[in-house]
Structure 1
């Protein structure tokens, strides 16, 4: 489904809404389309020079809080992008080493930035004599950790988020005019390792139709298409302001609710209509498609839920829930331990018009009490409670000073991520949500109860040391 069709689906819903609206005219959702801003080769080169993130002629663009801070990045991860066009009859493969970290994956995208195919670490078989350190129970510090991935042309249709099929070490791409987009992700490098997880970036090798092998700078010169390698996809600022100004909202600081309302992500179109919650047009959401599809340049290994937030309800936002178990890899644990999730995180982002991140916490950064529960405080640095620190069993998430990035310094969005649930935990993970509104029922004790308060009130709880 193209970007135009995805957002055009909202226009169909708006037409249906006319028949059920009484005195209010529904918003014209047909105008709610994203803007796509391709970064030029010069912009990408400039950012690469300014950032401390290593790149090369193949992996030339990066997305992170420290480079292109767009597309709702997670600060626990670094994203490398490549865009290339192969000569007729040529084949391309990658030679690499499994990272020393929590997770790694490769994803191909179509021209609209939607996932086509992916290989995550569990799906990649090692080369003979090497080990895959990401398998449950595997030794994580193995010296021989090589793999090879073949990049195959051909469309397999858009891949579902929960698709866990294995098709060997082959990654399919749906080329647009012969141009293919590939992203590489590394999450949480082990302590003491660099941002790449202590291994080189995967090296491309091209085999031409005549059998000649091409590598390095020569390969890049022949196939890399730098223009638009990184693309910023967002809604126009005026559109988002129009959405926030819908008539008749039930909440005084619409779209933020009190308490915050968490909404699972199913697809981009439905996610945009979260802003209709608490307005006379909320019934429109019942007409929307709830098929789970990934977002623009998203990873198929994660799914999410989000909540609009606003400090004017309270300077302190407190989240509390039972924490899903994850492997604790940062401390260079020797064995990859099985767990409920591979990774979870909470991030404070701006808005659908400014998709930057302010701060994130991932699982190992969040202290737990004796019951395995966590408490997270979200506030600005100026409003941070004295007991919002790990020694008191509380994790602090920086609200930042930008707010929603488009005029409301008190606003923003929280995003809660689940990655790669185990088979046993799947029914209580975000992947198991089926429709808007069932988030709390599905997650149960893992659902983050979220309340606003003030600094003095939170400080009254004192300092309770974690387990």
Structure 2
């Protein structure tokens, strides 16, 4: 489902349940061979929460493995093992592998949701991701059969990547942190900067430049936190500013699709560690990619004059990385974001493509 700011490098599987007295949900799974995974519980109307200080997300490195197995985000070089996570009504702070099943004031009969999130599986093979199994008990029933086939479908919910409301952000081409309440099913490990703009006319392009954070590269688990690594993952994406927030997905003549996301591994950095994204049309792509040191990002080929939303994602920031988007508290304020992020803030300019081809720079040297 290409909607609600998806990331083509990620897949989400959803399990919905009805809140009731004594509800206990047990999740038995295998750690995926991937860059990132998490389990998140959301309120029925969307949104993260906490109960007794226990947050409603468990990220890969926080999960204790089953006895005799290993968590590859905690043990270097370990083969992915197994885990068991319990969703309970009254978790206690300090408990391992526990998530709250719902906020304390949730009425019986309300909807709850569990999302299993995976980024960049090994070799890009989503079929290699083993889906968790689910066992449900409550005060009036014995354990129910395994529900994995029924409630964790193989197709990803490529939706709700964190920004799902009307994007109330600047009409200028300046990245800002949007309001937190835009998130219906937000990835709480992630911070976002966003901007809404219409593609420039004629032979003009949008140029975006900033310092690239160090990140955990590749498609396999790495121990976290890791010295010298700022983020687990980052990316820039273009989406249509429509009701579905569709990710740009342009069919190409060779039968492939050019999606509007470029992640850290797909982004060229110069010798100073800066990226330069050039956002243009597919017809401009060959010219843009011939320019040294730039990374092409597409506008929609089907709707080139429609408003687009671009967002920069910082996922799972190290506590020592002060310039992370997660540390930006000013909302809808480009200067506030710039003060926190400094050289990591994505500066923008609209320019003629011919000028870039001639070597003219829109920015001072990093």
Question: Which band: TM-score by shorter chain?
Answer: 0.7 to 0.9
Report Cα offsets for 1:284-311 as digits up to 9, x if no partner: xxxxxxxxxx611111111111112222
Report Cα offsets for 1:300-356 as digits up to 9, x if no partner: 1111111122223663111111100001123x5876654101111111011263311
Give the structure-2-normalised TM-score.
0.78
Contact 2:240 / 2:306 at 8 angstroms: preserved in 1?
no
Structure-2 change in CA distance of 1:184 and 1:321 (3 Å): same
Structure-2 change in CA distance of 1:89 and 1:296 (3 Å): closer
Give the structure-1-normalised TM-score.
0.62
Structure-2 change in CA distance of 1:109 and 1:86 (3 Å): closer
Larger relative contact order (Cα-Cα within 8 Å, sequence gap ≥ 6): 2
Identify the match of residue 186 of structure 2 among 298, 304, 308. 298
Structure 1 equivalent of residue 251 of structure 2: none
Structure 2 equivalent of residue 35 of structure 1: none
Cα distance between partner residues in 1 of 2:134 and 2:37: 17
Backbone CA RMSD of aligned residues: 3.3
Cα distance between partner residues in 1 of 2:243 and 2:80: 45
Contact 1:385 / 1:455 at 8 angstroms: preserved in 2?
no
The question of 1:311 aligning with 2:199 is answered: yes
Cα distance between partner residues in 1 of 2:30 and 2:90: 26
Structure with greater strand share of residues: 2
In structure 2, the gaps of 5 or more residues are: 50-55, 249-259, 361-366
Structure-2 change in CA distance of 1:230 and 1:255 (3 Å): closer
Identify the match of residue 145 of structure 1 among 81, 86, 89. 81
Cα distance between partner residues in 1 of 2:33 and 2:316: 18
Cα distance between partner residues in 2 of 1:459 and 1:230: 36
1:364 aligned counterpart, secondary structure: helix
Cα distance between partner residues in 2 of 1:322 and 1:220: 43
The question of 1:325 aligning with 2:226 is answered: no
Structure with greater helix share of residues: 1
Structure 2 equivalent of residue 347 of structure 1: 237
Structure 2 equivalent of residue 188 of structure 1: 120
Identify the match of residue 324 of structure 2 among 429, 432, 439. 429
Bigger-Rg structure (1/2): 1
In structure 1, the gaps of 5 or more residues are: 1-67, 157-164, 244-253, 269-293, 463-467
2:283 aligned counterpart, secondary structure: coil
Cα distance between partner residues in 2 of 1:96 and 1:230: 21
How many residue pairs were aligned?
327
Cα distance between partner residues in 2 of 1:104 and 1:147: 12
Structure 1 equivalent of residue 130 of structure 2: 200
Contact 1:234 / 1:352 at 8 angstroms: preserved in 2?
no
Cα distance between partner residues in 2 of 1:168 and 1:308: 41
Structure-2 change in CA distance of 1:205 and 1:384 (3 Å): same
Identify the match of residue 129 of structure 1 among 34, 46, 68. 68
